[in-house]
Structure 1
Amino acid sequence: MTIKAFVTGATGFIGANLVRLLLEQGYGVKALIRPNSRLDNLQGLNIELVQGNFNDPDLFKLMQGCTVLFHVAAHYSLWQKDKEKLYQSNVLGTRQVLRAAHQAGIQRTVYTSSVAAIGVGKPGDIVDETHQSPVEKLIGYYKKSKYYAEQEAIKACQMGQDIVIVNPSTPIGPLDIKPTPTGEIILRFLRRQMPAYVDTGLNLIDVRDVAWGHLLAYQKGKTGERYILGHQNLSLKELLEKLAQITDLKAPKTTVPHWLPLTVAWVEEQILAPLGKPPSVPLDGVRMSVQPMYYDPSKAVRELGLPQSSIDIALKDAVEWFTTHEYI
């Protein structure tokens, strides 16, 4: 009998790749979409679409008939003005979705958190699932919202729900429709809009491996555990050099001190934005870049069998997807 999965966030980057993997592996898929959702990433797929939102009192009815919930959906924003929207969508929304899953008799939930909820260690440290930055040390309302949303998952698990938590790092690859901040870096590079860069770093993983991490968490994950879905720690300089090799475009050679983009972002968001000028760079995004965000995914590799596909291939596929879909 076909196992049916209920997926939130199916139209997004991770969700769309997860839906494709589930179909390839023989699962049925029911996807929750908002009335105004862009469906580009789901065109031609044999899935059931149901309209609704997290606050629907009858959300549990839409989930009935499904065995597993993949709660991937989240609101992503680094703009400080979105504080309330982040809390409503990520924290209260997660609470409502998990409550509906309990009412619907969902057997197991895979909740998509983020390494953002874990935080970072001391400069240069590589941290794993045992690390937790104090919530007041997490930079920006997005990270804080993901921390509090993860706490909702932990509470629901303590109340008896079977929930596995996955914490993706920085996914790259095809179907980055919005695009993500890392997708924006790739696009700025391709458009020759990156004359310089800041000295920072991040953990990258092929988005298709992130999809596998979700499915493996459902199949093998331990209830109540968190798993970092990541792969390779790279400095931003190394990332740009990889893009240069893939595209034959020159990588920027100049670094800028962190105080410069911090000052520009502060002026734009705090002074010019209230006057009606849209800011170009979120202040919290620049604050995050001050410290490299390096993670150790060995627990997910060891316990789940998380794939560690080539970052070079993932970057190449991302470049090809952006080019083919006329983002350049």
Structure 2
Amino acid sequence: MILVTGGTGLVGFHLLLRLSQDENGIRAIYRSEKKLNHVKQLFQKDNKLSEFEKIDWVKADLLNIPALETAFSNISYVYHCAALVSFNPKDEEKLYQNNIVGTANVVNCCLTSNVKKLCYVSSISALGNGTEHNLLINEETERNNEAVRSDYSISKFGAEMEVWRGFQEGLEVVIINPGVIFGYGFPNEGSSLFVQNIKNGQLFYTQGKLGIIAVEDVVKAMTTLMKSTISGERFILVAEDITYKELFDSIAASLASRTSTNKLKKPKFEIKKWQLQIIRIFEFVLAKLFFRKRMLTKATINALYNLETHDTNKIKTAIDFEFLDMNVYLKELVGKMK
């Protein structure tokens, strides 16, 4: 039997959509009835309600060990997709508990339940750091622990350490390190917020880069790696390294092609790093005075001006993998989100 954690998230939903068409005996963990109902509606919208009903849905929290042990009954393969994504400094402890302790609990249950193989969804934020003379990142790039990192990045790296611990104790594992994942179904969260912001007339951009990938490619890589004999390896999943300006222009063009006025909504003004540093100071003061959520930190600002690129030869060679064309994919995705 296959277990999927985080079954009501973007990756979890698309993974279950694929697995339910090919596999029998699927169990998925969820925490929120609201999100479960949302995923059910997505299955129904795709005319796959019968596949949704084949899934054994179990309500459990990764920090609730008895509930987790029940979910692991008769499980042979695990896809660990559940994670907290936050860049709010106030969520440091939540990130530690959900991403590191939660993953440790999953690994322990895999070991005690004699699970055959675990696939962990990490992030490119857990990878090593580029240098002034080499901005190309691969799976072996060393991580500079003195560099400014977000709490999210630290938590994903810590979670990977728990997975490697499981590997050392005899568990077969594969880790994927995807970039920013785009996909349909969750229009008000994650990468879909890029589209919403452009719709709302976002004016500013930076010249930093980010790695992007389609959720369908993430799922294809996961399922292929799990069916292979590969173990004890991690794989970067980035279809394209693109500047924020290029990404925003692509989304704006896709949106404009679907409006009657054909009016482009491209961000027009480049914002410099020093300007964001000043804004960060004011935001910090306002957050303290009015108990507001902080959006800008040193780590998030650094990410907005990051120029690293990613070497994906390992996944391409290991399983003869080809990525979807993200320019075409984004156009289709924007059409689905209208």
Alignment TM-score, normalising by the size of structure 1: 0.90
**Correspondence for 1:41:** 39
- Report how far residue 55 of structure 1 moved: 2.4
Are the equivalent residues in 1 in contact too, given 2:287–2:294 (CA < 8 A)?
Answer: no
One-letter amino acid of the counterpart of residue 208, structure 1: E
**Correspondence for 1:254:** 269
**Alpha-carbon distance in structure 1 between the residues aligned to 2:229 and 2:239:** 18
**Alpha-carbon distance in structure 1 between the residues aligned to 2:205 and 2:235:** 31
**Alpha-carbon distance in structure 1 between the residues aligned to 2:148 and 2:247:** 24
Of the three residues 120, 126, 129, the one matched with 1:111 is 120
Structure 1, unaligned stretches of length 5 or more?
324-328
Q: Choose 19-28 or 227-236, whichever is displaced more.
A: 19-28
- Report how far residue 15 of structure 1 moved: 1.2
Equivalent residues in 2 for 1:174-213, closer than 5 Å: 174-180=184-190, 182-192=191-201, 194-213=202-221
Two-structure CA RMSD over aligned residues (Å): 1.9
Deviations 1:87-144 (A, max 9, x none): 0111111001110121222111001111110043125712111113223325111101
Where do 4+ consecutive residues of structure 1 move more than 6 Å?
none
Are the equivalent residues in 2 in contact too, given 1:164–1:221 (CA < 8 A)?
Answer: no
Of the three residues 288, 297, 306, the one matched with 1:291 is 306
Change over 3 Å in CA distance of 1:84–1:318 after alignment to 2: same
Deviations 1:158-180 (A, max 9, x none): 11111111111111121235511
**Alpha-carbon distance in structure 1 between the residues aligned to 2:221 and 2:239:** 11
- Report how far residue 280 of structure 1 moved: 6.0
Change over 3 Å in CA distance of 1:177–1:90 after alignment to 2: farther
Look up the SS of the partner of 2:295 in the other structure. Answer: coil
Look up the SS of the partner of 1:65 in the other structure. Answer: coil
The reply to whether residue 9 of structure 1 matches residue 6 of structure 2 is yes
**Correspondence for 1:51:** 59
One-letter amino acid of the counterpart of residue 275, structure 1: L
Are the equivalent residues in 2 in contact too, given 1:5–1:68 (CA < 8 A)?
Answer: yes
One-letter amino acid of the counterpart of residue 265, structure 2: K
**Correspondence for 1:315:** 330
**Correspondence for 1:282:** 296
Determine what percentage of the aligned residue pairs are the same residue: 26
**Correspondence for 1:230:** 238
Are the equivalent residues in 2 in contact too, given 1:202–1:234 (CA < 8 A)?
Answer: yes
Query: Aligned residues, how many?
Result: 317
| Higher RCO (CA < 8 A, seq sep 6+) | 1
**Alpha-carbon distance in structure 1 between the residues aligned to 2:240 and 2:147:** 24
Equivalent residues in 2 for 1:14-163, closer than 5 Å: 14-35=11-32, 38-39=35-36, 40-43=38-41, 44=49, 45-46=52-53, 47-58=55-66, 59-122=68-131, 125-163=135-173
**Correspondence for 1:303:** 318
Look up the SS of the partner of 1:264 in the other structure. Answer: helix
